[in-house]
Structure 1
Amino acid sequence: MRGTLVLDSAGLSGYIEGSRKVMLLIDAAHEEDRGLVISAATIIEAQHAKVSTARMNWVLSRIRVEDVTKESARAAAALLKEADLHGHRCAIDAMVAEAALRQPRPVALITSDPDDMSRLCGRSVDLVAV
């Protein structure tokens, strides 16, 4: 594997909906032999009444889902503290950032929140806004 593409909830939603931009990024990641990853917390954030369960399950079968453990939660909390962000508003972003920072480099993150993600990930992760 030569790097990783991480999806936040906007990236996962784009994959589920077949967004042209997201699908092009995912296709490029496959061609470059990059891993495709989400945080388990992203599943919760992306789920809503209009999401097809079958489509969600199909997409999740093609993505590596990183568990949220006590250790990863503590690391995410430390990222929030370092970035001077509040857990209530940015908790899931912090879990996504923590998962991204653990992946094989180079890492790109598809996100709808490049401002907070840049504060959480620093320069270690390339951000792709959607």
Structure 2
Amino acid sequence: MEAVISALTVIEATHRRTDKTRLAWLLSGMRIVHVGEEEAKAASALRIGAGLHGHKYAIDAVVAELATRQQRPVVMLTSEIDDMTKLCGDRVRLVAV
């Protein structure tokens, strides 16, 4: 099993009280995928296709697009089940956390 995370998720998940040493250890076991122009355009199309708009869904769309590009089977742990269902459809198994 490979754990994959978007570079944008690192930004979204950190805050002032984040333990940087613990975060570095956690991230060392993951493949961090950068977001370039191609990925941004694909995520934008996915977001529009799901009928979602606005910055609220921007990172979710990037994460969903990344998940749909991974080798199957794909499991995503998320607190955004409703949004991710709209974005991923049945291509990704979603698990609520």
TM-score category of the 2 structures, normalised to the smaller one = over 0.9
Give the secondary structure class of the aligned counterpart of 1:35: coil
Runs of 4 or more, structure 1, over 3 Å off, are none
Please give the residue correspondences for 1:35-114 in structure 2 after superposition, counting only pairs within 5 Å.
Answer: 35-114=2-81
Which SS does the other structure have where 2:47 is aligned? Answer: helix
The answer for unaligned runs of 5 or more in structure 1 is 1-33
Any conservation in 2 of the 1:77–1:87 contact (CA below 8 Å)? no
TM-score, normalising length: structure 2: 0.97
Identity of aligned residues (%): 54
Q: Superposition RMSD on alpha carbons, in Å? A: 0.6
TM-score (norm 1): 0.73
Superposition deviation, residue 88 in structure 1: 1.1
Task: Count residues in correspondence.
Answer: 97
- Which structure ranks higher in relative contact order (CA pairs < 8 Å, sequence separation ≥ 6)? 1
Check the 8 A contact 1:37/1:65 in 2, yes or no.
yes
